[in-house]
Every structure is written in C-alpha cells, then in structure tokens.
Amino acid sequence: MTRLADNDMAVKRFNSLDARVREASKEYYHSRPVASYNVTDEEGKTYSVNVDLRALLLLSALTDNKVLLSGSTGCGKTHLAKMVNAALFGEKGYRTLQIDASFSLDKLRDITFKTIAEGGRLHDAVIEADVLNVPGVVIDEYNRAPTEITNIIQGWLQNGVLTFEGGKECRPGVVFNGGERYQWKIATVNEGSRYSGARKLDKASRDRLSVEIPLDVFPLTDDDRRKLRVKTSTGVEVYNGDGALEDVLAALNDIRKVPLSIPADEFLLYLQRMNQCVKTPNKTKLEVENFSPEYCKGCHLSKGHNNICGSVYAPSDRSIIALQNLARGFAFYRHVQKGSLLVADSEDVIAAAPFVLLSKLDIHPGWIDKRGEGSPNGSRWAAVSQVVKYAYERFSTFVKNNYEHLKSPTPEAEKAIKKYAADHDAWGVELEKEKEKDTK
C-alpha cells in the first residue's frame, strides 16, 4: 500500500483526462454526486468521497467497463455520451450508431461484390466498417434494434469476435499491451410504455454492458435547472479536438495495478457465494427449479435481514470482475482526490456495486416491493443497494465471530468455521455437499 506523489505520472495523467472530460462536457449540467461514501484506512484516517457523473463515466472508460445510460427522453444521454467520447478519443476516434427498427449489419460491415464477381470468396469480400476499429462507440437507443441484430452484436459489446457472412471473423477495437483489444462503448436507452418502438433490454444484453447509470435516480439540482433555463440555445456543442487514447490506455494499466485489501477481496468472494443454500442436496439454489423464499420456510437461516438469504442469487462471475475493476477505479479516484492510501477497500466495492449489479443481481420481486421505512418500496436501485449493505453486514458479522479461527487456519479452526456457516451464514465459506448414503 502506498501513496503516489502529486507529480507522479499516473496522477498527472488521470488529472489531465479528468480535466478533458469536464471541459468537453461543461454544457451538460449535472452536479449531483452519484456516489458518496466514507473510507477509513489502516492508518485510522477517514476520507469522504463524492463521485459525480463525469468521474463515473471516466472511471468506466479507464476500467474498460461498457456503460448503459438509461433515463427519460430529453435528459441529454446521447449528448453526454458523445462529449465524453470526444474528450477521450477525439472527434475522429469514436463513432455513433443510431439504432432504429431498420438497423442492419450494413452498419457494421460492407461487401465488395466485385471480389465475388471476380471469383473471390464471400469471406474475402466482407470488409469491416470503421465503427469496429475505433476506440469509442456510442450506441444510441440500443433497445430499438431488431432482436436478431441484438443477438449478433452481444458478442461485440463484450469485445468478442463478430462473425459475418462466409465465416469472416472480426475482433473490434484498438490493440494495446501486445495483443489486448480496447473499445469503450456507451449504449443509451429509453425504456417503458411511454416510448413507442422501444423494448425492454434482455438480461443477456444488460449483462454485457457492465456499468448501468439510471439518470432518473439522480435528478438535477435546482442550480442545474437554473443553468439550463438561462441557456440561449438548446443545442449542445461537442468537443472537436484531438483525443488522448495513449493516456487512456496507460491510465487503464495504472488502475489495474491498484491492489485489493484483504477485506475487499474476501467480500467479493462472499458475494460470489450468494447462491449457496444449506437446505439443498448440493448446497446451491441453482439446482432448485423456480427457487423462491417459499423454499426457505422452516430454515433457521431465513430470519435475518428480511430473508435476504432466500431472496437473492449471486451475481455472475463476469459481473464480479466488472465490480472489482470499477472498485479499483473508485480507489484510484479517491487516492488522487484525497491522498488516501492506494488500495481498493470494501467501501469502494460497496459504493461501486449498485452501478454494476443494478440489473444483474436477481432479487425476488416480493423483496423489492417491500414497503415501509428503510424498505426498497418498489425501487430496484434501493433494493440492490440494500442487498449489498445487508450482505456486508452479514460478512462483517461472520468475520468478527470467526476472527480467531480465520487468523489461525488449523484443521480444527476450519471445522469450526464450517459449522458456524451451516448454523448462521450459508455464504460464509464454501459449503460441502451432502455425502451420498451407502445403500449396499
């Protein structure tokens, strides 16, 4: 664990990119923090951290997390996406895909029929479009794409291989680190019955857009609204200068080096165990068809935290990796802003979690709809935030009650920890499957 000097190249690089984004998006008025939290480091110093919308988008780009911007029409999602892309990659370093019902693969590739006429193969006639070779892409109104197109480009969203006619394969993005590919994407969506022609994004698409920012959850401040009203023009000027791709890729490598604290690493593992269940034969909810809180009736672990144990599933491993990366980004931002130790702590994980898990954490609808003070009251954002908070409380209790055993991992200590997990917390450690009875 360390601190970087103010003149360290990594700090200067990040500050330069942050300044570029803020300058390019100065006409987008949104000053409300999207994440506010406190971190107390191992030196006992407490730091208050506020992450605003611009910082969150920058950190998403610098951790290679694709973004889904959702919100009511007219809130400037597309303008903001273009501003940030232009700041990072320059006016020629990103492309905008305008999606509608007529969208086709012609936007992603071209076919040179002359090659075919001259006896060439279809494989050789397919030419990838520029949009596949730039470092930044804005996919506007992504949920208007026809279903068959959505299925095709899901792999592209994850920087996977796109396969075109004739078996032609394309790997999108720019090459760095000797073979890795980078292409940052922001998709915008308007969802709900108010928007004709739009459909609800399926889980597979949302899972590939690793960070989701629901702008309706973070309304403008009155000061923002006043600034909007005094503007003389409704148009928004987009930055048209050069980009800073080299700095973006270098900053990505800087953030990858941020270490995880032991508690943060163990808490991420704890979240990965949320499918474990003491009642099922193989100790996993996934083996039970249509698992629900009803299955938990009579279970001694169903009482705490509104039966969170039986109301949620674990996030996918892909989501946990995205969360780990974004938490590293939050820690780096905190370090640059506050001078705190350069290590990702559990608080960074908790603050980043709702943006990654908003649509990726399966929660029973009845749990989301719980009413009353301190309950989600129908808000999925509040439900996800509460699940993560409850999970951390359970994790902290587990560590506290097993601290001596965890500190000295003897066979006896391991046995005691497993017994505690079976009696008090199914997510505490990896549960053992039931042994098959000998029928001979």
Query: Measured between alpha carbons, how far apart are the two ends of the chain, in Å?
Result: 58
Q: Is the pLDDT of residue 286 over 90?
A: yes
Share of the chain above pLDDT 70, in %: 85
Closest among 130, 94, 93, 92 to 110, alpha carbons compared: 130
Where b means 16+ CB within 10 Å and e means fewer, 42-68 reads eeeeebebebbbbbbbbbbbbbbbbbb
- Rounded CA-CA distance 75/236 in Å is 12
Task: Provide the residue count of the chain.
Answer: 440
Position with higher pLDDT, 33 vs 289:
33
Count Cα neighbours of 12 within 13 Å in the Cβ-side half-sphere: 5
pLDDT band at 35 (very low <50, low <70, confident <90, very high): very high
Categorize the per-residue pLDDT at 333 as very low, low, confident or very high, splitting at 50, 70 and 90: very high
pLDDT at 235: 61
Q: Where are the domains of the chain?
A: 9-256, 262-424
User: Whole-model pTM?
Assistant: 0.90
175-183 contacts, C-beta under 8 A, 24 or more apart: 176/249, 177/249, 177/253, 182/64, 182/135, 182/248, 182/249, 182/252, 183/132, 183/134, 183/135, 183/136, 183/137, 183/159
pLDDT at 47 over 80: yes
Reported as a single tens digit per residue, the pLDDT across 247-264 is: 999 999 999 999 999 999
Kindly tell me if the per-residue pLDDT of 23 is higher than 90.
yes
* pLDDT recorded at residue 158: 67
Give the residue-averaged pLDDT of 315-340: 96
pLDDT tens per residue across span 141-196? 888 777 777 777 777 776 567 776 666 677 788 999 988 999 999 999 887 555 55
Highest mean pLDDT: which of 58-67, 177-186, 225-234, 236-245?
A: 58-67
CA gap 135, 172 in Å, rounded: 9
> What confidence tens digit (pLDDT) does each residue in 362-381 have?
999 988 998 777 778 899 99
Q: What is the pLDDT of residues 124-144, one digit of tens each?
A: 444 566 778 889 999 888 887
Half-sphere exposure (Cβ direction) of 423: Cα atoms closer than 13 Å: 9
Give the tens place of pLDDT for each residue, 91-104. 899 988 887 766 66
Superfamily of domain 9-256: P-loop containing nucleotide triphosphate hydrolases (3.40.50.300)
Q: What is the mean pLDDT of the chain?
A: 86
Phi, psi (deg, nearest 5) at residue 389: -65, -45
DSSP per-residue codes, 41-87: -TTS-EEEEEE-HHHHHHHHHHTT--EEEE--TTS-HHHHHHHHHHH
| Cα distances (Å, whole numbers) of residue 393 to 267, 315, 356, 398 | 10, 18, 20, 9
Look at residue 220 and tell me whether its pLDDT is greater than 80. Answer: yes
Residue linked to tokens 């928007």: 195
Cβ(198)–Cβ(191) below 8 Å: yes
Residues 207 and 322: their CA atoms lie apart, in Å, by 10
Q: What is the 8-class DSSP label of residue 433?
A: P
